Structure 1
Amino acid sequence: MKKSVLVVEDQSSQRKLMVDALQRAGYATFQAGDIQQATQIMHQHKLDVVVADMHLPSGDGSDVIREVRKLPASTTAVVAVSIDLAILNQNITSLFPADAYLSKPFHPRELLKIVEELVGVSL
């Protein structure tokens, strides 16, 4: 069974870059441009990983992490993505820390490496 990844990114070009790389690597992907879309997808599908931008127009990326952590019996891993290292450093000590952190700009291979480590498989 394919592992599934949700990409939450408001910038459509960035979102497409991440989704394309994940799909080429064999992952089932979902995508959302805001927290409301992401929350809907989280409640409709079993996800292995959520990749969440920390700067979203509809709220803070930590809201996405909080939603993931509220899911019943969730084993979903979270990758926090930001261009702002201070946000990533602050998130490390928050109540809802991510499982991995990725600073923009990054090469899609970096994202794939992190996702593979989190799901425990190499596709």
Structure 2
Amino acid sequence: MNRLKRVPAALSEHAGSGERGLIVTAEPEADGDCHVGLINDQLKLGLEFIYSAKAFPRMAHWQHYGPRGSFASALEPFYGSLLGRARDQHPLVDATLAPDESRHYRLRLRVLRNPAELRELAAHDGPIQPVR
């Protein structure tokens, strides 16, 4: 599963609208925040999301690696389900907001440019575990 963290060569099955995605649970730090991101080793550039695991207990990673360099990747921390009950067994699959109910979230986005920041983000990396 950890191979899904590396950008591969173009995938023929991603021609047109082909894609793949995975849903993971990031491990929070002692303060309750998760640190998730992308690092481009060639450009020495990173993007880090910092968010509360309580507010966003799940992370979706959508990937499209099409021919002729049409590559895209998206990270989406979320609460609830993106797939619906038929395809998702997570306890929050039925989470909804009642009429007039609201929630407030905090998400910090950092662009990382120096080696120390990139190492700090990489130190948060862990293995991807299959959903059971």
Shared fold, TM over 0.5: no
Quick one: higher RCO (CA 8 Å, sep 6+), 1 or 2? 2
Structure number having the greater helix percentage: 1
TM-score normalised by L of structure 1: 0.24
Structure number having the greater strand percentage: 2
Tell me which structure has the larger Cα radius of gyration. Answer: 2
TM-score normalised by L of structure 2: 0.23
